[in-house]
Copies of this chain bind each other. A is one copy, B any other.
Amino acid sequence: MAADRTRTAIITAAERLYAERGFADVTMRDIVAAADVNLAAVNYHFGSKDELIAELFVTRSIATNRERRALVGPTLRGCLGPDREGSTAARFMIRASIESVPPIRKIKTREVDHLKRFAAALRRALPDHDPADIFWALHFALALAHQTIRDTERLTRMSDGLCDLDDVQGIIDRVVAVALAALTGKPARIKTRA
């Protein structure tokens, strides 16, 4: 009971601090201070700092993957747009995308089941396609979505602010158009907006 309270306090504080300041800047001593628990409690409940981060990431990933049926839409919607500052969970996942700390990197490369399920659905939907092409297209679609989140600042700089990162639906349209082009060979022209 009390154990649960400590565990939860650590998780809540850690997620918030990592979301706000990034992985590189937040120490375990910062976390336990914010959670108002003892330093050793982290190792007692989670084993190590990396396992705490892994647990945070896995918990959020399960939530994300459950809503991931459109693959890239939910992620982009959660991570971009003017109200992206709202959710601590979303900001934590943005950090996880950008900073790619070792424990999270490991999980990402190991856990591919949900992607395999997605690929299987695509293969059923497109029986004429070379399976390798489908995997490549899926890989490219994920790359587009992920790097768009990751490199928003670079895109803003390179375009001198011309590209509108707040138009989330427009970005999703672009990503989906290019991903579809990769998949089906259909034209990828973006419907230009007024």
Contact = CB atoms under 8 A, between A and B. Distances in A.
B133 A192 contact: yes
Interface of A: 24, 98-100, 102, 105, 108-110, 112, 115-116, 119, 130-133, 135-136, 138-140, 142-144, 146-148, 151, 153-155, 157-159, 162-164, 174-175, 177-178, 181-182, 185-190, 192
Contacts of A99: 100, 102, 105
18 contacts: A24-B102, A99-B102, A112-B157, A119-B158, A131-B159, A132-B159, A133-B192, A135-B159, A136-B190, A138-B158, A139-B148, A139-B154, A140-B148, A142-B151, A143-B146, A143-B151, A181-B187, A186-B187
A110 B130 CA distance: 40
Contacts of A109: 151, 153-154, 157
A108 B153 CA distance: 10
Instruction: Please report whether the interface of chain A is mostly helix, strand, loop or mixed according to DSSP.
Output: helix
A132 B162 contact: yes
A82 to B, nearest CB: 18
Given A177-B182, A185-B189, 14 more contacts: A109-B151, A109-B153, A110-B157, A112-B154, A133-B190, A136-B163, A136-B190, A142-B147, A143-B144, A174-B182, A178-B178, A181-B187, A185-B188, A187-B187
Contacts of A116: 158
Contact of A108 (B154, B175, B177): B154
Given A155-B139, A159-B135, A163-B136, A178 B182 contact: yes
A131 to B, nearest CB: 6
